[in-house]
């Protein structure tokens, strides 16, 4: 089960890495597009579900723990490889692109806060805080990895509950 999940995780990581490299090569500002994030979300969840289902097939059923473990391993491995690619591209190869994206995100954040009707003081305070950190620093990418892993794990709990099947039921 673990080998299968790791293999699926490697494939997921390859897809995420290739997607990151392609989007970067086409136009790195596409990373600001929410549709790109939605694409990643769908790919990651589908890979986790696929891992759970394949594990259940191989084992002629799967307990909740086995289903979740299969999901989690695939997601953790794949998402780690995808994040390592992000580090490679935006921390090592082209940190200037990261700075451009950070600036664009600040502009988008300011527009969003203005749309919420916040006072100029609150917006200035928020912008000052946001400008002190990079979304593409090693620490930020690591924190995003952990946060997204928790988020995807919650989805994995639901998936595992739905996909579990005792061996006697199979």
Indicate whether 65 belongs to any domain: yes
Q: What is the CA radius of gyration of the chain?
A: 19
Indicate whether 78 belongs to any domain: yes
Locus of tokens 């579990």: 164
Confidence of residue 170 (pLDDT cuts 50, 70, 90): very low
pTM of the model: 0.88
Which residues neighbour 73 within 8 Å (Cβ) at sequence distance 6 or greater?
2, 5, 6, 9, 51
* Residue-range definition of the domain harbouring residue 23: 2-163
Q: Is the pLDDT of residue 9 over 50?
A: yes
Higher model confidence: residue 140 or residue 117?
140
Q: What is 11-58 written as a DSSP string?
A: HHHHHHHHHHHHHHHHHGGGGG-HHHHHHHHHHHHHHHHHHHHHHHHH
Please write down the HEC assignment for all residues of 124-144.
Answer: HHHHHHHHCCCCCCHHHHHHH
* Among 100, 77, 93, residue whose Cα is nearest residue 16: 77
Indicate whether 168 belongs to any domain: no
Indicate whether 37 belongs to any domain: yes
Indicate whether 169 belongs to any domain: no
Could you give the residue ranges of the DSSP H alpha helices within 59-168?
Answer: 64-87, 95-115, 120-131, 138-163
Indicate whether 170 belongs to any domain: no
Indicate whether 123 belongs to any domain: yes
Indicate whether 49 belongs to any domain: yes
Phi, psi of 33 (to 5 degrees): -80, 125
Least confident span in 7-11, 41-45, 89-93, 129-133: 129-133
* Among 79, 101, 90, 98, residue whose Cα is nearest residue 29: 101
Number of compact structural domains in the chain: 1
Span 41-49, mean pLDDT? Answer: 95
Structure tokens of 2?
Answer: 């673990």
């Amino acid at each position: 089960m673990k080998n299968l999940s790791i293999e699926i995780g490697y494939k997921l990581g390859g897809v995420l890495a290739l997607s990151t490299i392609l989007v970067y090569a086409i136009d790195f500002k596409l990373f600001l597009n929410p549709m790109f994030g939605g694409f990643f979300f769908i790919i990651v969840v589908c890979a986790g579900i696929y891992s759970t289902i394949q594990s259940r097939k191989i084992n002629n059923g799967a307990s909740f723990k086995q289903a979740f473990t299969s999901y989690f391993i695939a997601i953790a491995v794949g998402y780690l490889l995808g994040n390592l690619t992000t580090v490679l591209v935006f921390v090592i190869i082209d940190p200037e692109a990261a700075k451009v994206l950070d600036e664009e995100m600040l502009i988008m954040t300011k527009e969003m806060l203005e749309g919420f009707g916040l006072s100029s003081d609150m917006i200035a305070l928020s912008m000052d805080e946001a400008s002190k950190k990079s979304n593409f620093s090693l620490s930020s990418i690591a924190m995003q990895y952990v946060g997204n892993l928790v988020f995807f794990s919650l989805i994995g709990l639901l998936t595992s509950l739905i996909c579990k099947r005792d061996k006697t039921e199979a």
